Structure 1
């Protein structure tokens, strides 16, 4: 088998977009053994100052220290996550893998014709 052009490391996190983040979080905790680390309300720009347009339940994989699951619920009709849910239904929004060099990985994917949704690389220390 040929060596892939973009070498992926371990899974860092994946994000689910759902209608009811609390219920999905409870299922992952009670049935699958995930540990709830934090419930984080956020304003990504579609809510007024001091209000929130999304809610993240950040959970640790069973038996892991570094891998997380982020369960996201859009709180306003205008939020990017509520629109995504409306357009695509519930499910995986994205998966993030560890790589040795993020800039090289992004450029390799870009040259291969991958559609990138953003030119900005962001790192959230809590959820990846």
Structure 2
């Protein structure tokens, strides 16, 4: 079951520069920065009430974020929905014909179990399921 919006992922070229904008202008403070080597990203967490913004910077040439920025430029990369059971949601959505990029959960930022739905199944939006 979808519980809420967990976070919005924003691809940036430089986290430090982006953090300046968010902290100085929007007064949203970063609470942590984490490196996810398996995904080739550096992630900055900016809590906003019940959800958060995650700034994503590529740290490897193979990173999906690097490829995204090369193709589309910096900007909103994905929206993540918190689920109570990622395995149940994957099973339910697959029965509805939804295609996944990874239909076996992996671990992402903040230790969350994650799975991405393919944008071809979601009207062009990269959707992440996230269980914390």
TM-score, L = length of structure 2 = 0.68
Task: Pick 1 or 2: higher relative contact order, CA cutoff 8 A, min separation 6.
Answer: 1
Q: Tell me the SS of whatever aligns to 2:7.
A: strand
- Give the whole-Å Cα distance in 2 for the aligned partners of 1:117 and 1:106: 11
Q: 1:127 to 1:92 in 2, by over 3 A?
A: farther
Unaligned runs of 5+ in 1: 1-6, 46-52
Q: How many residues align?
A: 112
The corresponding residue for 1:19 is 13
CA contact (8 A) 2:34 2:109 kept: no
Q: What root-mean-square deviation, in Å, do the aligned CA atoms of Structure 1 and Structure 2 show?
A: 2.4
From 41, 58, 62, the counterpart of 1:78:
62
The corresponding residue for 2:77 is 93
Choose between structure 1 and 2: higher helix proportion: 2
CA contact (8 A) 2:43 2:109 kept: no
Superposition deviation, residue 123 in structure 1: 4.6
TM-score, L = length of structure 1 = 0.70
> Structure 1 stretch 117-126 or stretch 12-21: which is displaced more?
117-126
